[in-house]
Amino acid sequence: MLLEVDHVAKRYRKRDGGEVPAVRDVSFTLESGRILAFLGPNGAGKTTTIKMIAGLVRMDGGDVRIEGRSIKGSGRVAIGRLGAVLEGSRNLYWRLTPLENIEYFAGIRGVPRARARERGMRLLRLCGLEGKAGETVQHLSRGMQQLVAICSALVHEPRILLLDEPTLGLDLDAADRIQAQVARLAREEGVGIVLTTHQMDVAEHLSDEVVLLREGAVVLHGLTQEVTRRLGGDSYRFELEREPGQEQLARLTGRGALFDSPRSFRLLLREPRDFYAVLRDIEPIGVLGAGRDTADLATVFRHYVGNGADGEVQP
């Protein structure tokens, strides 16, 4: 097995002496060439878990194994098999060019300079950045910077790539380029990829499997296609005659309705008889249509996470 995350846990100590149980109990495995979407609401513990896997945060419990070897103790060897681009942190040196950045990170990883240059040029070419090799990173767009960060994380040819919100704040075009590279790395180079994102369409498009975290624990783990299909049977679409008023809207979103236009929404029913309760809710507004629908990942997410921190969880 390429990557085994085995009951990891992390508590952060607060200044006032209290503790934050950021990650309570997270386990999953990842094979070569697979893309795993690591999902969950803000504060669920995704970044903390990614940092534990990358050896940047010490775990309080559990273990991480890469190709069967624990990253604890002589773990540096195992961590050499891994590349990571972390959320929001500085993954690049702004005054260096893309190629210089790649060479710098190669140096840290012990990759010979000539080799780093060759691989760096190839990676930049694959990302459509060959024309930018001579400019400093600070003058590149955010999408390009993100691509350079990914190239830098790949220079030592890791078998595992951890990407924390790789498409955050990027326009559609830049996000597409990142997605294309992620897919290529998995399909053509067999890299195993763990990717966090709040963009459910990105997760749905890219991932083979999903792990959904809530309050530091896994609430759902499965093949992306299966979780959407399994819940698809209970997913409905409703079309309204008019836009609902504020109170009606609050009631419907409270039931988990996901509006994709002012007059239509999708809903994953917790119980079949809830269908009639929803119909009663929307009758005064006027119902144009109601029928079964396939679930998408956004609906699945809403179902497991709820609308807020106290949403119901049904495994």
Ligand X SMILES: Nc1ncnc2c1ncn2[C@@H]1O[C@H](COP(=O)(O)OP(=O)(O)OP(=O)(O)O)[C@@H](O)[C@H]1O
3-state secondary structure of 215: coil
C-alpha distances in angstroms, 137 versus 94, 100, 126, 176, 234? 5, 10, 18, 20, 48
Would you state the structure tokens that stand for residue 76, as one six-digit string? 């540096």
User: 74-113 mask for ligand X (x: CB under 6 A)?
Assistant: -------------x--------------------------
Helical (H) or strand (E) element with 9: strand 3-13
User: 155-174 mask for ligand X (x: CB under 6 A)?
Assistant: --------------------
Q: Give the nearest distance from C-beta 276 to Mg ion in angstroms.
A: 40
Q: Give the nearest distance from C-beta 13 to ligand X in angstroms.
A: 7
Residue with the shortest CB distance to Mg ion = 47
Using CB distances below 5 to 8 A depending on partner kind, what does residue 12 bind out of Mg ion, ligand X, none?
Answer: ligand X
Find the length of the chain: 315
Q: Among candidates 216, 191, 27, which has minimal Cα distance to 208?
A: 191
Q: What gap in Å lies between CA 21 and CA 232, rounded to an integer?
A: 33
Angle between helices 246-254 and 274-282 (to 10 degrees): 170
Using CB distances below 5 to 8 A depending on partner kind, what does residue 2 bind out of ligand X, Mg ion, none?
Answer: none
Q: Give the nearest distance from C-beta 257 to ligand X in angstroms.
A: 23
Using CB distances below 5 to 8 A depending on partner kind, what does residue 261 bind out of ligand X, Mg ion, none?
Answer: none
Q: Give the nearest distance from C-beta 209 to Mg ion in angstroms.
A: 19
Judged by CB under 5 A, the residue of 22, 47, 78, 120 near Mg ion is 47
Using CB distances below 5 to 8 A depending on partner kind, what does residue 166 bind out of ligand X, Mg ion, none?
Answer: none
Nearer to ligand X among residue 15 and residue 280 (C-beta): 15
Q: Give the nearest distance from C-beta 30 to ligand X in angstroms.
A: 18
Contact predicate 4/65, CB 8 Å: yes
User: 19-58 mask for ligand X (x: CB under 6 A)?
Assistant: -x-x-----------------x-xxxxxxx----------
92-105: burial string, b at 16+ Cβ within 10 Å, e else: beeebbbbbbbbbb
Task: Specify the residue for token string 């996901």.
Answer: 258
Q: Torsion-angle region of residue 17: left (phi > 0), alpha (psi -120 to 50) or beta?
A: left
Contacting positions for Mg ion (CB under 5 A):
46-47, 87
Contacting positions for ligand X (CB under 6 A):
12, 20, 22, 40, 42-48, 87
